[in-house]
Structure 1
Amino acid sequence: MPFIQNYSGYSGKLVQLYNLDGSPLLAEPVPMDVEANSVKEVLGGKFSRTFDAVWHRIPVVGIPFQANGQPYALFITLQENQVEQELMNSIHLVYVLILVIGSFLILFAARHVVNPILRLTDATKKMAKGNFTFENLPTKRKDEIGQLSQSFQEMAHELSKLNQMRQEFVSNVSHEIQSPLTSITGFTKALKQKKLTEESRLRYLTIIEEESERLSRLGRNLLRLSYLQQKQQPLQVEAYRLDEQLRRIVIALEPLWSEKRIALDVDLQPLTIHADQDQLDQVWINLLSNAIKFTPEDGLIRITAAAEADQVFVSVADNGIGIAEEELADIFKPFHKADKARNRAVKGNGLGLSIARQIIDLHHGEITVSSTPNKGTTFTVTLPESQSST
């Protein structure tokens, strides 16, 4: 017993001895927390191994033995190291600080991410109501939020342009319809007058006929443009001679260019392409008609066609009035006219080039324009997947 008493506390070990009644027999420098069930189990001759009830990390080992015929329960455990205990307390404190600081940083980061998204949400609500102007969007950020904001602003800008184009389209359609209707109505009322010469009557009827044809062309072109934009008219692709097609168009429009004494310089290589001949007829008619309209009397129009690297290039160049540089970007928009006054001497409703571009797009080609005011304009059409033949 004295030996065990002296051993307890030696080298950081704690020892406690229990008698048959379960009472501790040794005076402990540091109390050992041993459950009564464990003491009873060891007194019954079994070994026990539990953990400290407070920290749940220090093992408590129970060993049964007998002395003088009496059963005893010997429990041995390790004594807490104060330095280690302070270190663990420090670690626990660090854990708490990390948790607090981490929570604060997460909250700050969440606000840093959520606030721009909230501003984007407000912007989408404004855009749904037709407002395409936004402020305080985080477009200067370099992360994904900044890229999203930049893309959103670009989308809003494009939608704003589309909305403006829609309004202009409605305005232009209204103008194009209202103008001939006004003429038809006015001259129809004039025909009701009894005192009207035969010459005046024929002149009024001619104007009514021209305005009616103008309305008819507008309706056909609008319907054609709508079908082309919605791709409701599938291409009827066939192989045919492009050079022969262009010559046929030139001959068909001879009354127009010969009336103005316009000289045509036609340089066409023998070419066979796979395309929709009827659709491309409309393209060449529109381009050549425009060239004739805006070329002065005794002017010159050059038409060339050549093949290079599995592509066909067709150009229609005139020496007419040309197009201002600021007009070139909008020349293919529906109803766009370089003549803002809508001069009646120049027939057309501003849909020809839009239709031509839609047809070329359906053929996976490209149409471009270059022009110099008072010197002339050149339209170039590029068609892919073509083959030349001799």
Structure 2
Amino acid sequence: MLSLIVAYFVTSWMYEDRARAFIQNMLTTDGTQIIQTFQSTPSAELVSFMQNLSGLSLTQIQLYDRNGTTLLDAKEWPVQVSTGEIESVLRGEKVVRVDQIHTAQPVVGLPLQADGQPYALFLTVTKEGTDDGAMNAIHLLYVLILFIGSFLILIAARYIVNPIRQLTAATRKMAKGQFDVELPTKRKDEIGILSVSFNQMAKELAKLDQMRRAFVSNVSHEIGSPLTSISGFSKALKQKQISEESRLRYLTIIEEESERLSRLSQNLLQLSHLQHNDRPLHVSAYRLDEQLRKIVITLEPQWGAKEIAIDLNLKPVTIRADEDQLSQVWINLISNSIKFMPVRGEVRIETVEKENRITVIIADNGIGIPEEERTDIFKPFHKVDKARNSSVKGNGLGLAIVKQIVDLHRGDIAVSGQPGSGAIFEVSLPQ
């Protein structure tokens, strides 16, 4: 509306100024032609000649003699001419002005000689011959543009504002913890892109909320089970009539469950430090193949008890990394292979060096990992055994810790293999 108002006044000023200049030139040209026509007609009588021409082509004419007397019909003359202007024209000067009092139209005065006498010829245009009609049409056009434009702006504003209102309502729902919101994404403009980004953010927040709930549930389960066992067997120990064998068995269970709680606490603390990068890497150069051999020897009680064969194919290779943290990676991966391995199974550990990267392959012929589980095994508390069989030790944090350590070393970890035929873990690290 402001731009239309400004355009109204600017256009009016520009159009009227140019129109008046055009009319002034037209009046000067017409007046000169009238004088030339009269002077080329010797038999013409001045007053009658001028009276007959007045009103033609929307031009009004007035004639003054040397005394300033009006010679033509004064009723049809629409403007006021001053005595000074008449005298100027009688002296042979040209007068051009705009009558602001009555019609605000251009007035042109030209000198005329007839029968040796000076006359003053003034010309102007009739009211109907001015630019009022054009200006009125332009003003009407502005009014139509104003109303039509306002209507279109309302429609456009509604088209723009409605998605913003939906976005506002969706954000309020998300602020209350409702992440199952989705905005329509049919639009291709910036609002459509914003809606797509909002939907992606809502999905990610929903995943985080689900992970948070699952984390709380898993922690509660992992803590609750050993606490229940410790509490139950502690009450059983209070009984006086209990055999020494049962007492030792109950104490052993309490000790195992206490160790389980201790491991859970340590793993949670370690995972938290890794996720928040509280402990910087202490990088040093060392022999990776020697580290793997030492870990295999350390885990001998585990694989020896199940008579598992260890096949080592370790080439001499040096790596720059945090030795303590990578040691945790190899212990967790090899322990997992042994844990889910049948008696007299086989574990193969191999190193491959290629393009400034070192890949450690740990393969077994155990129960394997189903394909649908492979994307989730690195999440905290995720277990392929949904029933959480207590005979298999572990709290589902080992692979999550492995993934965090590998990520901190700018490496990659992948799992493959056929279910029922074993699992293959490949850890790729920069050299």
TM-score, scaled to structure 1: 0.85
> How does 1:12-23 map onto structure 2 within 5 Å?
13-16=59-62
Q: Offset at 1:138? A: 2.1
Match of 1:170 in 2: 216
Q: Offset at 1:249? A: 1.1
Q: CA RMSD in A?
A: 3.4
CA contact 1:311–1:382 (8 Å) conserved in 2:
yes
Is residue 2:358 matched to residue 1:336? no
Q: Offset at 1:75? A: 4.7
CA contact 1:16–1:32 (8 Å) conserved in 2:
no
CA contact 2:78–2:102 (8 Å) conserved in 1:
no
Q: What letter corresponds to residue 186 of structure 1 in structure 2?
A: G
CA contact 1:42–1:73 (8 Å) conserved in 2:
no
Q: Offset at 1:360? A: 0.9
In 2, Cα distance between the equivalents of 1:128 and 1:317? Answer: 47
> How does 1:353-368 map onto structure 2 within 5 Å?
353-368=399-414
Gaps of 5+ in 2: 1-45
Match of 2:7 in 1: none
Is residue 2:189 matched to residue 1:143? yes
Gaps of 5+ in 1: none
Is residue 2:340 matched to residue 1:320? no
Match of 1:123 in 2: 170
Match of 2:319 in 1: 273
Is residue 2:316 matched to residue 1:291? no
Match of 1:206 in 2: 252
Match of 1:108 in 2: 155
Match of 2:238 in 1: 192
CA contact 2:79–2:103 (8 Å) conserved in 1:
no
Match of 1:50 in 2: 98
1:236 aligned residue (273, 282, 286):
282
Q: What letter corresponds to residue 368 of structure 1 in structure 2?
A: A
- CA separation of 1:191 and 1:72: change in aligned 2, threshold 3 A: farther
In 1, Cα distance between the equivalents of 2:287 and 2:99? Answer: 97
Secondary structure of 1:100's partner? helix
Q: What letter corresponds to residue 138 of structure 1 in structure 2?
A: P
Q: What letter corresponds to residue 102 of structure 1 in structure 2?
A: G
Q: Offset at 1:41? A: 6.7
- CA separation of 1:103 and 1:174: change in aligned 2, threshold 3 A: same
Larger Rg computed on CA atoms: 2
CA contact 1:52–1:59 (8 Å) conserved in 2:
no
CA contact 2:62–2:77 (8 Å) conserved in 1:
no
TM-score, scaled to structure 2: 0.77
In 1, Cα distance between the equivalents of 2:199 and 2:414? Answer: 29
Q: Offset at 1:150? A: 2.3
Q: Offset at 1:315? A: 1.5
Q: Offset at 1:226? A: 0.8
Q: What letter corresponds to residue 105 of structure 1 in structure 2?
A: L
Match of 2:416 in 1: 370
CA contact 1:9–1:29 (8 Å) conserved in 2:
no
Q: Offset at 1:14? A: 3.8
- CA separation of 1:366 and 1:54: change in aligned 2, threshold 3 A: farther
> How does 1:23-62 map onto structure 2 within 5 Å?
26-27=72-73, 32-33=78-79, 39=82, 42=85, 49-50=97-98, 59-61=106-108
CA contact 1:16–1:74 (8 Å) conserved in 2:
yes
- CA separation of 1:229 and 1:17: change in aligned 2, threshold 3 A: farther
Q: What letter corresponds to residue 255 of structure 1 in structure 2?
A: P
Q: What letter corresponds to residue 173 of structure 2 in structure 1?
A: K
Secondary structure of 1:372's partner? coil
CA contact 1:17–1:74 (8 Å) conserved in 2:
yes
Identity %: 61
Q: Offset at 1:178? A: 1.0
Q: Cα deviation per residue 1:222-260 (whole Å; 9 max; x = unaligned)?
A: 111111111111111111111111111111111111111
- CA separation of 1:209 and 1:88: change in aligned 2, threshold 3 A: same
CA contact 2:365–2:423 (8 Å) conserved in 1:
yes
CA contact 2:289–2:316 (8 Å) conserved in 1:
yes
Q: Cα deviation per residue 1:39-92 (whole Å; 9 max; x = unaligned)?
A: 477468595533767997x6444679999xxx9986544557869876665555
Q: What letter corresponds to residue 346 of structure 1 in structure 2?
A: V
1:182 aligned residue (223, 228, 234):
228
Is residue 2:308 matched to residue 1:262? yes
- CA separation of 1:87 and 1:179: change in aligned 2, threshold 3 A: same
In 2, Cα distance between the equivalents of 1:297 and 1:227? Answer: 36
In 2, Cα distance between the equivalents of 1:54 and 1:287? Answer: 103
Secondary structure of 2:423's partner? strand
In 2, Cα distance between the equivalents of 1:252 and 1:299? Answer: 18
CA contact 1:52–1:60 (8 Å) conserved in 2:
no
Match of 1:217 in 2: 263
- CA separation of 1:12 and 1:257: change in aligned 2, threshold 3 A: same
- CA separation of 1:74 and 1:382: change in aligned 2, threshold 3 A: farther
In 2, Cα distance between the equivalents of 1:8 and 1:89? Answer: 26
In 1, Cα distance between the equivalents of 2:130 and 2:111? Answer: 33
Q: What letter corresponds to residue 281 of structure 2 in structure 1?
A: L
Match of 2:144 in 1: 97
Q: Offset at 1:361? A: 0.9
Q: Cα deviation per residue 1:174-211 (whole Å; 9 max; x = unaligned)?
A: 11111111111112122222223322222222211111
In 1, Cα distance between the equivalents of 2:247 and 2:99? Answer: 119
